[in-house]
């Protein structure tokens, strides 16, 4: 089933705006629904709502239908924003 990125992004934006503890759980739930990570792992790895939003933006690029080079260029263009997310994810995998 294809992911409706626009709809999901709106949902994540709405959750991020309130930034309460329940919102943190909602954000984790949204991200875990499209990854292999659990809600608890998302909350542990990315306790800040802003980091969950960056993770979403990175995943949106990676999962897009664009070719590999376009994906790489978009990630490079936003490398400073995504650097912390990438380090956290790679540390989890290592």
| Tens digits of residue pLDDT in 38-69 | 888 988 999 888 898 899 899 999 999 999 99
Spatial separation of the C-alpha atoms in residues 93 and 86, rounded to whole Å? 11
Res 62: pLDDT: 93
Res 19: pLDDT: 58
Q: What are the CA-CA distances from residue 57 to residues 52, 60, 71, 72, 94 (Å)?
A: 9, 5, 12, 13, 23
| Cβ neighbours, 10 Å, residue 29 | 14
Q: Write down the residue that tokens 């990854």 correspond to.
A: 35
| Cβ neighbours, 10 Å, residue 32 | 16
């Amino acid at each position: 089933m294809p992911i409706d990125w626009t709809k999901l992004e709106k949902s994540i934006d709405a959750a991020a705006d309130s930034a309460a503890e329940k919102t943190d759980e909602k954000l984790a739930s949204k991200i875990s629904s499209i990854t292999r990570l659990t809600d608890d792992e998302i909350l542990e790895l990315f306790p800040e709502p802003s980091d969950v939003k960056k993770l979403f933006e990175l995943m949106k690029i990676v999962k897009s239908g664009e070719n590999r080079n376009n994906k790489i260029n978009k990630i490079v263009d936003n490398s400073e924003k995504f650097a912390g997310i990438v380090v956290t994810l790679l540390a989890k995998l290592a």
